[in-house]
Structure 1
Amino acid sequence: MIVEQRTYTLRPGTAAAYLSTYEEHGLPHQLPILGTLIGYYFTEFGALNQVIHMWGYEDLGDRA
């Protein structure tokens, strides 16, 4: 299995609006294209204001 991790840095105070917009407009379009969503995470310590999501693929051919 191949796991792709994507990290996005948000402006402070925009996490709730980002998540709401992404759930409504982004996720429905990405699910059929990007494969299996493993998880969606927000940072609470360390580098703040970041969202991390992980997508799973069977192999590199599936990722392409």
Structure 2
Amino acid sequence: MIYDHRTYTCHPGRIKKHMQLYADHGWEVQRKHLGEPAVYGAVETGDVNSYVHIWVYKDAADRSTRRAALAADPDWQKFLKLSSESGNLASQVNTILTPAPFFDPK
């Protein structure tokens, strides 16, 4: 099992606009291909212009297959275009995590 931990940072004052854009155009299509995220939330302390989502995959091949299907979906391409045109995002950091040997995800 692997976790794809993603942190996106918006320009100040634009996170609500970006989250609404995603809710309207990205949420359903992303879940259609990637399944339910383990976490999807806005940062409340620290960099409050950020939000985090964590997706769970069986392995790297599963991640690659599902992300390729997402990338090929015209509805996702539409969202990416709208997101780019909005100029809301300042940065993105992706981290792949594996569970510690003593951690039993249920």
The question of a shared fold, defined as TM-score above 0.5 by the shorter chain, is answered with yes
Match of 2:53 in 1: 53
Does the Cα contact within 8 Å between 1:36 and 1:57 map onto a contact in 2?
A: no
RMSD: 1.4
List gaps (5 residues or longer) in structure 2: 65-106
Aligned partners of 2:57, 2:36: CA distance in 1, in Å?
7
Give the greater-gyration-radius structure (CA): 2
* 1:43 aligned residue: 43
After the TM superposition, which segments of 4 or more aligned residues of structure 1 sit over 4 Å from their partners? Answer: none
Percent identity between matched residues is 38
Normalised TM-score (structure 2): 0.53
Shift of 1:57: 0.7
Q: Distance in 1 between the 2:27 and 2:39 partners?
A: 12
Q: How many residues align?
A: 64
Deviation for aligned residue 1:33: 2.2
Higher strand proportion (structure 1 or 2): 1
**1:9 aligned residue:** 9
Q: TM-score, normalised by structure 1?
A: 0.81
Which SS does the other structure have where 1:37 is aligned?
Answer: coil
